[in-house]
Amino acid sequence: MNIAQLTFSCHFSADSSSPESLSQAPNLLQEYRSCLAARKYDEANEKNKEINYLITNEINATGGDLWRFAEDLLRKAVCFKESIPVYFAAASMFKKKGNLVIMSLCVGDDGIHGANEKMIVRDVAMKEVVKHHVIPLMRDVKKQILEMTSVSEKDKCEWVGHVLKCIAKSEKLVDDDETAEETMKESKVWEGRWRTEKKQTTVEEDNGCILM
């Protein structure tokens, strides 16, 4: 049994999930790790989808459970690669619950960006993995936020800006400075969008002609 399997067994028990799902999930995490090691990004994306579906639909776990599992993988078990799909699954779970704040934090310093930093410190060759596989996953979280209908536009603008800042920091990690600069500009646009819209609405209210 590898470290990821041991960590998984500490968080999820047969009392709350099917034995088949419990045995399959750690194996998928190991297969995901192998895909990254071989730079097979299309296969890694498919494994990420399988992991996401399995642990958000077939294992009786909350978003908080998944966050704590990912945190243990990242900080205690030193399974940096395996933590990424678990953080991504946690973001999907928090999206279902309408918890935009924690969903966004899944890509931050204590989430996927933190895993990126640790992977690259351990092995500089992981920059390629972060650039071609992980950053696109982070951008998918931004897309998921924009799809949410249960949160305010103000919160969307604020947390899309936060996610973009995290993406920009990861882009800096892989020496993609030009893209990082553009992403940071986009972040500021999103953060300023709500203030601009609020100011415009206030002016329209003062003029007695709010647009519907």
Domain ranges for the chain: 3-197
Please state which of the ranges 11-20, 124-133, 203-212 shows the lowest mean pLDDT. Answer: 203-212
Per-residue pLDDT band for 124 (boundaries 50, 70, 90) equals very high
Q: Tell me, what's the pLDDT at 7?
A: 59
Q: Tell me, what's the pLDDT at 198?
A: 52
Indicate the DSSP class of residue 180. Answer: H
Percentage above 70 pLDDT, the chain: 80
Mean pLDDT of the chain: 84
Rg (CA), the chain: 19
Average pLDDT in the 4-21 region? 56
Q: Tell me, what's the pLDDT at 131?
A: 97
Which two tokens mark 72?
A: 């243990």
What pLDDT digit, counting tens, does each position of 182-209 carry? 999 999 999 998 766 555 444 344 444 4
What one-character-per-residue DSSP string does 4-72 give?
HHHHHHHH--TTTB-HHHHHHHHHHHHHHHHHHHTT-HHHHHHHHHHHHHIIIIIB---HHHHHHHHHH
What pLDDT digit, counting tens, does each position of 16-35 carry? 555 565 568 888 988 999 99
Q: Tell me, what's the pLDDT at 196?
A: 61
pTM confidence score: 0.84
Q: Is residue 116 within 8 Å of residue 173, measured between CB atoms?
A: yes
